[in-house]
Amino acid sequence: MRPVIGILALQGDFEAHKRAVDQAGGNPVEVRTKADLDAVDGLIIPGGESTTMLKMLADEDLFEPIRKFGQVKPIFGTCAGAILLAKEVLNPAQDSLQLMDLTVERNAYGRQIDSRIVSLECDGKPLEAVFIRAPVIRKAGGDSHVLVSYNGDPVLVEQGRHMAATFHPELAGEGAIHRRFIEKVSASRK
Ligand code: GLN
């Protein structure tokens, strides 16, 4: 059975993640309420604006349920989602779920280079990474494992059941990163 992958659908580019999850062999479901969350095996927190998402999580009473979800089930945060997963957020400091040992600096590439597409490698395979007002992971500590770096900074990190990317794997590439997350979700269901 296809693992059910929830996609937080309060704000940001959740539609593109739905397509990517479907193509990668998962069953994508939009998550807007606690009941939606209870029905999924893993969760993707998409890119968007982390400050806005935080506010909406508070308004919808989803902050604490997602934090608890992350203590037992996998979460993949991309861009703003990675900011929400981090233990510490800078520029400016803001609240977060603190589910991964990451220190993240928001909008760290500066205004001039708002977005760019970069050719990187993951597991020896080419990876097109789309950065949009991306954060920089200043520190990946604990037992976190850096899978991909760009300019010496981690851009794809795995820690236990969770994954964080500062770029947008739903916008380019052939799905390897979504497949990796779906595999983690399948493994955690067993
Ligand atoms: N700049 C956004 C933030 O700080 C993240 C951008 C994105 O998700 N593409 O929340």
Catalytic residue among 17, 162, 168, 178: 168
Catalytic residue among 105, 158, 162, 170: 170
pLDDT of residue 110: 73
Mean pLDDT throughout 129-143?
Answer: 96
Q: Which residues line ligand 1 (CB under 6 A)?
A: 47-50, 79-80, 83, 106-107, 132-133, 135
Q: Which is it for strands 162-165 and 136-140: parallel, antiparallel or unpaired?
A: unpaired
pLDDT of residue 54: 97
Q: Is 145 a catalytic residue?
A: no
pLDDT of residue 111: 66
Give the number of the atom of ligand 1 that is nearest the alpha carbon of residue 51: 10
CA pseudo-torsion sign 149, 81, 133, 136: negative
Report the CATH number of the 4-189 domain. Answer: 3.40.50.880
Which of 19-28, 92-101, 181-190 is the least confident region?
Answer: 181-190
Residue nearest atom 1 in ligand 1 by C-alpha distance: 133
Catalytic residue among 17, 79, 162, 178: 79
Domain boundaries, the chain: 4-189
* Helix (H), strand (E), coil (C) string for the chain: CCCEEEEECCCCCHHHHHHHHHHCCCEEEEECCHHHHHCCCEEEECCCCHHHHHHHHHHCCCHHHHHHHHCCCCEEEECHHHHHHEEEEECCCCCCCCCEEEEEECCCCCCCCCEEEEEEEECCEEEEEEEECCCEEEEECCCCEEEEEECCEEEEEEECCEEEECCCCCCCCCCHHHHHHHHHHHHHHC
Mean pLDDT throughout 137-160?
Answer: 97
pLDDT of residue 171: 93
Give the number of the atom of ligand 1 that is nearest the alpha carbon of residue 52: 10
Check pLDDT > 60 for residue 112: no
Check pLDDT > 60 for residue 11: yes
pLDDT of residue 113: 65
Q: Is 128 a catalytic residue?
A: no
pLDDT of residue 63: 98
How many Å apart are CA 17 and CA 126, to the nearest integer? 20
Contact 81, 8 (CB under 8 A): yes
Q: Ligand 1 centre from 189 Cα, in Å?
A: 30
For the stretch 154-186, pLDDT in tens is 999 999 999 999 999 999 878 999 999 999 999
Mean pLDDT throughout 12-28?
Answer: 95
Q: Ligand 1 centre from 57 Cα, in Å?
A: 16
Mean pLDDT throughout 36-48?
Answer: 97
Q: Is the pTM of this model over 0.85?
A: yes
CA 123 to chain centre: 19
CA 66 to chain centre: 13
Strand partners, 163: 76, 158
Arithmetic mean of pLDDT over the chain: 95
For the stretch 67-99, pLDDT in tens is 999 999 999 999 999 999 999 999 999 999 999
